[in-house]
Structure 1
């Protein structure tokens, strides 16, 4: 199962929870429970999407590139994907063209599932990282002023 979206959201939430403080990929990986290489690969995607920026040198690390209120979960989803993904792998199937059902199955599923994909994108576009942070705040202990690795 692909965890890129969940890990990318975790990374961005950590950065939003530590505003103005550069965070290393090792710390982010520790918090997300994944390998630093996974985080560094995702950081490249997030940087290309304009969601994060890096500071080099001593005390360097990664910061949000724009306010959490301006980052939607759809932005995160798109950045976390290697390419625009076929969520249901319909395009990856190879049905038998000599079969009446096989000839029309892929097109039928694409039509039916297209509405689900559109609904998912609309739902993700409606939620900002700031809203995720507000939801996280209801679950964080009051004595937890900032994220820790």
Structure 2
């Protein structure tokens, strides 16, 4: 199962929570429960999408490239989908054109999945990384060092 979107969202939420302080890939990996190499690859993709920037040198790390309120989950989703642009891989199928069912399957699935994909994109566009951090803050126990509220 692909976890790129979830881990990328985790990374961005952590960076938003860090409030402008650079965060190392090791710290991000520890928080996300993954390997720093995975984080570095995702950060590279997020940087190419213009969502994060990197600061080199002592005290360096990754920062948000723009305010968390200006980064939607759709932005994150689209950045993670660059290598797999078709969520349901409909266009990657090759049904048998000599079969009655196969001949109409792709068009049928596109008609059925299209509204679901549009609804998902609209839902993701409505949620910012800032909103994710607000939701996280509500779930953190009071007095927890990670809770700013």
TM range (shorter): over 0.9
Alignment of 1:40-59 (within 5 A): 40-59=40-59
Confirm or deny: 8 A CA contact 2:52 2:66 kept in the other structure: yes
Does residue 1:24 correspond to 2:24, yes or no?
Answer: yes
Does residue 1:80 correspond to 2:80, yes or no?
Answer: yes
**Residue in 2 that maps onto 1:63:** 63
Confirm or deny: 8 A CA contact 1:18 1:146 kept in the other structure: no
Q: Which runs of 4+ in 1 moved over 4 A?
A: none
**Residue in 1 that maps onto 2:93:** 93
Q: Which secondary structure state, in structure 2, belongs to the residue aligned with residue 138 of structure 1?
A: helix
| In 1, Cα distance between equivalents of 2:84 and 2:4 | 13
Q: Comparing both chains, which one has the higher relative contact order based on Cα–Cα distances under 8 Å and sequence gaps of 6 or more?
A: 1
Instruction: Specify every segment of 5 or more residues in structure 1 that has no aligned partner in the other structure, as ranges.
Output: none
Confirm or deny: 8 A CA contact 1:72 1:127 kept in the other structure: yes
How far does residue 126 in structure 1 lie from its aligned partner after superposition?
0.5
| In 1, Cα distance between equivalents of 2:141 and 2:46 | 28
**Residue in 1 that maps onto 2:142:** 142
* TM-score normalised by the chain length of structure 2: 0.93
| In 1, Cα distance between equivalents of 2:88 and 2:33 | 27
Q: Which secondary structure state, in structure 2, belongs to the residue aligned with residue 111 of structure 1?
A: helix
* TM-score normalised by the chain length of structure 1: 0.93
